[in-house]
Chain A
Amino acid sequence: MAAARTYFDKVWADHVVADLDGQSQLIHIDRLVLHDWTAGWIMPGFAKAGRKVANPDLVFTLVDHLIDTRPGRTRSQSNAATGTEIIETARKHITDYGLRFFDIGDRRQGIAHVVAPEAGIILPGMTLVCGDSHTCGNGGVGALAWGIGNSEAEHVLATQTLPQSRPRTMRVTFDGGLGKGVYAKDMILALIGKEGANGGIGYAMELAGSAIRSLPVEGRLTFCSMAIEFSARTGFVPPDDTTFEYLAGREFAPKGAAWDAAVRYWRGLLSEDGAHYDKEVHIDASALRPHVTWGTSPEHVLGIEGRVPDPAAAPNAEVRRQHEKALSYIRLTPGEPIAGVPVEAAFIGSCTNGRLSDLRVAAGILKGRKVAEGVQAVCIPGSASVKREAEAEGLDKIFKAAGFEWHESGCGLCADMGNKRFADQRVISTSNRNFEGRQGPQTRTHLASPATVAASAVTGRITDPRPMLG
């Protein structure tokens, strides 16, 4: 009898075009997503070399990285020095090659990893790559998706394949139910806090357990988007009825008999009992609290009742040096409670937490409340579609009445795309990276869920959202 196989084993096997050296394989890539920055860099050289796009139907392009998000933007407006030039270069070559393009003004424009699931571009059992490390978020619908560099993107454009070493497998199981005010963001931060920011190196991470199963697809996308902050190659939630209900009827998902055939195929990919994983991690979801980062790595994370660690208590000299460096950048004192730290800005958005359910949770807290004086608060919906749906529900009015700016969709403010809005400020943020300088020069980022960010915006201090939830 054949050995029991995992979901990953089956999906990988179904994508091997050729074995290269016994360790790496030439893998078929089902979906290539090119954003403005990748396309603008690689396509001039690609065209000059006379390259042909191998499978134009499998390529989706859009504008998200360098575009300004401020209301009333024009279609090439950027705060980055060469941003406008790169966007226009991308647009020209994408148009010349006749690729599918969600440009500024298109109903489907938005952040790549928000758009791909919501338009049904990414489906279970598929491989998807994009020139952005948070591409792994697409694993929330059961895809194998990961970020790549520009050279690899060019390779996929020309061949629809990528040489890849086969990752090891890890299963992370969250048992129990989540408490009120605890979300997918808190789960992934808790995992990184427990296992370290390098705990996932070399692994494809399957997510399992009742707390994962009970997450809506948008929560699964949030969780998987931060698999890269765990340094995993990718993370994924094998599909179930929740996934199928979410995807059915979306623009690029199959319809009719083709859909039924796809669902049958997807069900056949599920991990089998007794399948081997190279590593297993278990976390009790019912014990989790809202989490927030205190330092400059996603592993620098605490429960909301926690205190900033004392480097003197670090387990070894290396960790002590790291904690000292992080504290000197973030300007906090050892032993200080993380709740109550004053913030100067609040950001809701990104491929991690810029979806409709995120905005609903935040609006639930902001309704009838005001952002604290002196706090600049910005919401950037993850896609044009999220923005439309939020406006149809009146969420934009709640955000604006509370004192939030309401922007157009894009990646801006998650990374320093040139506008310096958060320069030298402390920001409570739903984004995914708290690295030095990530959101601007000397910006001190604290990562948290949309509920925690909304609650903190209202009080002007890092705040436990649970008492403010209706």
Chain B
Amino acid sequence: MESLKSVTGVAVAMLRDNIDTDQIIPVPEMTRSTEETHERWGAGLFAYWRYIKDREPNPDFILNKEPWNRATILLGGANFGCGSSREPAPKALRGFGFRAIVAPSYSGIFFNNCFRNGIVPVELPMATVELIASQVEASGGAGLVTVDLEKQEVKAPGGEAFPFKTPPALRAMLLSGLDEIDQTLLRKAEITDFQSKDRSKRPWVYAPGLES
């Protein structure tokens, strides 16, 4: 798994609420190839908004403009990543170059998927996100933002630092980049023990269609 400790870069503001994963990457972009590369996923990001026809860039879309096309941090609105569970949504964001999102809230499935794809989804109040966005925009994008997962702190272009919290287990996984399955398999004895106790309590779970 890809690790992340801190990212400093251009932050782009897309402050609409309820940006759904069908917009982040539409189904036809997911099915057009079975390749697993950053380039492939990144090219599908926001395809409906970003391209006029197939791959012809829409000049009005923010990610097609300098300097926002180099953004590594996305400032978003409430319920970012709602809708479909598709993991290609964070893959497309990562493929484009994003390593952090700062938004007031996320849909749960998307939030969990981010940590497994090298992206930290940071929760900060909308007023803070708007403040950071206004400083970035006032600087024409030259004012960089830092998202530091080790310190759990976002630094705005003006220098103010905003602390944030992430679930400790997911944070540790993203900081270390260790394989999550291997980590859980270290607990195999606990899982076996749980199942053996549970099997006597709920035998029908372990033998679908159990007759007795």
Q: Do chains A and B interact in one complex?
A: yes
Q: A149-B87, A152-B112 are in contact. Are A159 and B185 (CB under 8 A)?
A: yes
A415 within 8 A of B: yes
Which residues of chain A are near B87, meaning CB under 8 Å? 149-151
The answer to whether A155 and B48 touch across the interface, beta carbons within 8 angstroms, is: no
Complex: A150 Cα to B20 Cα, angstroms? 18
Q: How far is the CB of A124 from chain B (nearest CB, A)?
A: 11
Query: Is there contact, CB below 8 Å, between A433 and B116?
Result: no
Chain A residues closer than 8 Å to B85, beta-carbon distance: 131-133, 135, 147-149
Instruction: Name 11 A/B residue pairs within 8 A (Cβ), A-sorted.
Output: A17-B190, A18-B187, A23-B168, A82-B31, A83-B31, A148-B85, A148-B112, A155-B180, A197-B79, A198-B78, A435-B20
Interface size on A, residues (CB 8 A): 84
- B124 → A minimal CB distance (Å): 15
Residues of chain B whose beta carbon lies under 8 Å from any beta carbon of chain A: 15-18, 20, 22-23, 26-28, 31-34, 48, 77-79, 82-87, 105-109, 112-113, 116-117, 167-170, 172, 180-181, 184-185, 187-188, 190-191, 194-195, 198, 201-212
Q: Is the CB of B86 within 8 A of A149?
A: yes
Q: In residues 242-271 of chain A, which contact B (Cβ within 8 Å)?
A: 251-259, 261-262, 265
A215 interfacial contact with B, CB 8 Å: no
* A18: B residues at CB distance < 8 A: 187, 190
A132 contact set on B, CB distance < 8 A: 84-85
Find chain A residues with CB under 8 A from B212 CB: 254-258
The closest CB in chain B to the CB of A230 belongs to B82
Roughly how many angstroms separate A23 CA and B170 CA in the complex, as a whole number?
A: 11
- Is there a chain B Cβ closer than 8 Å to A177's Cβ? no
- Cα separation A160 to B196 with both chains bound (whole Å): 13
In the complex, which of the residues A85, A131, A155, A415 contacts B34, with contact meaning CB atoms closer than 8 Å?
A85
CA of A438 to CA of B83, assembled, Å? 10
> In the assembly, what is the distance between CA of A152 and CA of B77, in Å?
25
In the complex, whether A123 has a CB less than 8 A from a CB of chain B is yes
Separation of A158 and B185 alpha carbons in the complex (Å): 8
* Besides the known contacts A132-B84, A198-B79, 12 further A-B residue pairs in the complex with CB atoms under 8 A apart: A17-B190, A81-B28, A149-B113, A163-B170, A201-B107, A254-B210, A255-B210, A255-B212, A416-B26, A418-B28, A433-B84, A436-B23
> Are B195 and A418 in contact (CB-based, < 8 A)?
no
Contact of A149 (CB < 8 Å), options: B23, B112, B201: B112
CB-defined contacts of A149 to chain B, threshold 8 Å: 85-87, 109, 112-113, 116
Which residues on the B side are within 8 Å of A229 (C-beta)? 83
Q: Is the CB of B209 within 8 A of A120?
A: yes
Complex Cα distance, B172 from A376, in Å, reads: 52
* B-chain residues with CB within 8 Å of residue A80 when the two chains form the complex: 27-28, 31
Q: Which residues of A contact B23 (CB under 8 A)?
A: 435-437
**Of A24-32, A282-290, A359-367, A456-464, which binds chain B?**
A24-32
Give the interface centre of B22, B78, B190 by most chain A CB atoms within 10 Å.
B22
Q: List A residues 314-359 near B (Cβ within 8 Å).
A: 318, 321-322, 325
Nearest neighbor of B114 in chain A, beta-carbon distance: A149
Q: Which 8 A-B pairs have the closest CB atoms?
A: A198-B79, A149-B87, A147-B85, A21-B168, A254-B204, A80-B31, A149-B113, A252-B208
**In the complex, A165 Cα to B115 Cα: how many Å?**
13
Report whether B31 and A81 are in contact in the complex, using a CB–CB cutoff of 8 Å. Answer: yes
A409 within 8 A of partner (CB)? no
Q: Which residues of A are found within 8 Å of B184, using beta-carbon distances?
A: 26, 155, 158-159, 161, 163
Q: Closest residue to A158 on the B side, CB-wise? A: B181
Find chain A residues with CB under 8 A from B79 CB.
197-198, 201, 231
B28 touching A416, Cβ below 8 Å: yes
Contact in complex: B180, A151 (CB < 8 Å): yes
A86 within 8 A of B: yes
A154/B209 in contact, CB under 8 A: no
Q: Complex formed: what's the CA distance from A113 to B102 in Å?
A: 33
Interface string of A386-425 (1 = CB under 8 A from B): 0000000000000000000000000000011110000000
